[in-house]
Amino acid sequence: MQLIDNHYEMQGISLVSLTQEFGTPLYVYDAAKITEQISNLNEAFAGLNLKLKYAAKALTNLNILKLMKKNGVGLDVVSLQEIHIGLKAGFEPSQIMFTPNCVPFSEIEEAVAIGVNINIDNLPFLAAFGEKYGHEKGVCIRINPHIVAGGNDKIKTGHAESKFGISIVQIEEVYATAKKYNLLVEGLHVHTGSDFSDVEVFMQSAELVFGVARNFAELKFIDFGSGFKVAYKKGDKTTNLQELGSKMKVAFTAFTEAYGKNLEIWFEPGKYLVSDAGVLLAETTVVKPTPATTFVGVNTGLNHLIRPMMYDAYHDIVNISNPHGEHKKYSVVGYICETDTFGWERDLTTVNQGDIIAFKNAGAYGFSMSSNYNSRFRPAEVLVNNGVAKLVRKRETLEDILSTTVEVDV
């Protein structure tokens, strides 16, 4: 999304014109930005045997997955449903990593039957996997390093109280379970949390995993998760990929030389690939002056973009209908019957009823966390690729909402 002369555009297409064609609220994604982010990661870790696995939960639109595949990126999925969407997008099972949490063991069995990579994060399931498959099927083990990293507490996953991964304190039990069942341990996984910016903390978790890896002779890869931080506003500190890549190349190369095998290094970027590529466009329904503030009400809410309410996340907000107007302070709020404030006392150009408001960095965990709260429809999605805008998800209808309802006599 760029301001060119008097209008905001994406790949030469006016964003306001997209709302006129497809309506609002509307998610719009920039394919060129996604491919640029993929290139940034490939460049940062050049020289290593790198495999990228897109964290599909960030944005699961089938066409986004196809774009990832076209650019040589595999998938990291957390549900059977995401597995099947990935297969429909054309991925081979071997290109998919399944990293579930607190699911029934039957989901693990179904995923094994499909042929995807399995990542297990608790001791009971590791034993159950060993009892059923022994050395027959490969497995990856997720380690909780007890390292605090990331942004909001809800997205920190590597600390001692986290539900994710097998505690590093329990590593001897991991070794014992692997030996007892002769497990074919092909990978190790660690993910400290999303939005980390401290490279040294990341390297601490890497060294810890290297120590564990020396106890498994049949590894094919080590998966370091992701969590690369993106900028949500000017001045935000982000993950220094050049520094991380440089240090990881030295550390990973030294480890693989000592290990005696050129292992693959995996990362699972989600937000990093799609966040800045997406924008949510909404129409101003009312400008409401009050003694406390002037509210800008829009025809969207926490049912379409819940991150500001759930994570206190900051999203830059722009009035794209009046890019050069006088600047004033507004509080931008949604139309849901809850307090769904997108931003309090934000500096916007003068807003009038009918103006289009853009929420930036909305590509990750925007539509994928949307709902039908208040029985509202989820929005349409558009992908801009090679200068052409295409509808990639229709706006929901009342029939869609009612489609799974079963009417009975009451």
Q: Which residues participate in catalysis according to the annotation?
A: 337
From the list 146, 128, 142, the residue with the least C-alpha distance to 185 is 142
Q: For residue 291, say if its preceding peptide bond is cis, omega within 30 degrees of 0.
A: no
Residue spans of alpha helices (H) in 297-355: 307-310
- Complete DSSP assignment for 66-91: HHHHHTT-EEEESSHHHHHHHHHTT-
How far is residue 183's CA from residue 178's CA, in Å, rounded to a whole number?
5
DSSP E strands, 290-334: 294-298, 317-319, 327-333
Gyration radius from the chain CA atoms: 23
How far is residue 2's CA from residue 19's CA, in Å, rounded to a whole number?
16
Cβ neighbors of 78 (< 8 A, separation 6 or more) are 56, 57, 98, 99, 100, 101
Tokens of 61: 């639109």
